Amino acid sequence: MNSPLSLGREKASKLRRPLLTPEGVKLNLELAHRGDRAGAFAVDSAIIGLALVLMSLLGSLIWSDPDAGYARTVMQLFFFLLLNFYFMLFELKWSGVTPGKRVFGMRVIDRGGGQLTADAIVVRNFMRQVEVFIPLSVILAPEMLWPGATGWAKAVAILWALGCMLLPLFNKDHLRIGDLVAGTTVVLSPKTVLMPDLEATRQVRGSYNIGGMTPAQQEASPATNKKGYIFAAEHLSHYGVYELQVLEDFLRKDEEIGRYEAVETISGKIQRKIGWKPPAGHKVNHSRFLQDFYSAQRALLEEKMLFGKKREDKFSPKQ
């Protein structure tokens, strides 16, 4: 992994974090982005705010005298529960998801790979006191918390409060204090669609008629057989896994615009690089060439991998 290309790949996987399941298989999960987490928090806060307003309106409708003791008690408890236990209750009930997190497709998991336990959820949400409530009151109303504070003391307190609030910006795992203390982290809910195997599409393709040859000609041609183009060992010794998967990505894309030109360019490049020549008088069907090359290259690399020789990319030494 010391080629120039691998640098780019590492960058792409910077947000991936390994997670060891209790069965001992390592899974790679993608950390939630900071912006998404802030967004989810904003959505949840908006829901809380809305609920508070609605409850107040409802209260003034139900009780003719909203200042009566019992009405105020109910309201007070409701406000308290909503402000302090909203996140906790949702995360307990929906196993690590709140409405805001659901909107952004994220969830809380145990950092060590174990079960997300109730105590972890409780702790990560208690810490919101130092992350949200205290910093907000320090910044908005420092007199309430600490009457008669001098100017520099206020400045220090505000800096400290901001530090607590913005901790996710300062660590590469995007952890907030609650995550640190509870041993949790927030990841994107994974979702990949299983696409048909390229090998399967190749095998079911209807006609074997390649490049306008009759079946007899095809059979006789050294460069093709009944199933398509064939490659010799020296043709397949140029590329590694990375290039193979780039080709896979390309073949799986189904955009139409400029497709034909792209296929032709890539096919031509590969042919030049591996030194493969079509039989004389044969016009190459570029799309099929790519499919067949992909298949042959994959077969070879997979076979070598079974023997423990994985060739990362074209810069790796030939085996």
Partner 1 sequence: MSQASSTLRSYAFRSEREPHWLELEELVERVSKKGVSVLSASELARLPVLYRSALSSLSVARSISLDKNLVEYLESLCARSYLCVYGNKRHLREALSSFFVISLPRAVRELKWPLLISAGCMLLGLITAYLLVSQDSDFFYTFVPNEYAGGRTPAASTEFLRSALYDNDHDASHLSEFAGFLFSHNARIGMMAFALGFVFGIPVIYLMFTNGLTLGAFLALYGDRDLGLELWAWLLPHGVTELFAVILCGAGGLALANALVFPGRHRRLQNLAIGGRVAGTAVLGAVIMLFIAGLIEGVFRQTVTSVPWRWAVVAATSTFWLYYFVWVGRGGQHE
Q: Which of residues 288-307 bind partner 1 (CB under 8 A)?
A: 292, 295-296, 298-303, 305-306
Q: Are 91 and 110 in contact (CB under 8 A)?
A: no
Exactly one of 7, 9, 10, 28 binds partner 1 (CB under 8 A); that residue is 28
Kindly state the tokens that stand for 83: 């402000």
Candidates 32-40, 109-117, 211-219, 265-273; binding stretch for partner 1 (CB under 8 A): 109-117
Exactly one of 3, 6, 217, 225 binds partner 1 (CB under 8 A); that residue is 225
The three-class DSSP label of residue 31 is strand
Quote the least distance from Cβ 107 to partner 1, whole Å: 7
Kindly state whether residue 135 participates in binding partner 1, applying the rule CB under 8 A.
no
Q: Classify burial at 159, counting beta carbons within 10 Å of its beta carbon; exposed 0-12, middle 13-18, buried 19 or more.
A: exposed
Kindly state the tokens that stand for 24: 């001992």
Nearest to 90 by CA among 47, 142, 143: 47
Quote the least distance from Cβ 61 to partner 1, whole Å: 19
Kindly state whether residue 29 participates in binding partner 1, applying the rule CB under 8 A.
yes
Kindly state whether residue 20 participates in binding partner 1, applying the rule CB under 8 A.
no
Quote the least distance from Cβ 74 to partner 1, whole Å: 8
Quote the least distance from Cβ 199 to partner 1, whole Å: 4
Please, where are the H alpha helices in the chain? 4-12, 34-62, 69-93, 99-103, 118-126, 128, 134-140, 142-145, 151-165, 177-182, 198-204, 215-220, 241-252, 259-274, 286-306
Nearest to 175 by CA among 185, 165, 166, 189: 185
Q: Are 256 and 303 in contact (CB under 8 A)?
A: no
Quote the least distance from Cβ 268 to partner 1, whole Å: 20
Kindly state whether residue 118 participates in binding partner 1, applying the rule CB under 8 A.
yes
Tell me which residues in 76-105 interact with partner 1 (CB under 8 A): 76-77, 79-80, 84, 92, 95-96
Tell me which residues in 175-204 interact with partner 1 (CB under 8 A): 177, 180-183, 189-195, 197-200
Quote the least distance from Cβ 254 to partner 1, whole Å: 13
DSSP label of 173: T
Exactly one of 17, 33, 154, 227 binds partner 1 (CB under 8 A); that residue is 227
Q: Are 139 and 158 in contact (CB under 8 A)?
A: yes
Tell me which residues in 261-290 interact with partner 1 (CB under 8 A): none
First to last CA, the chain: 16
Quote the least distance from Cβ 280 to partner 1, whole Å: 22
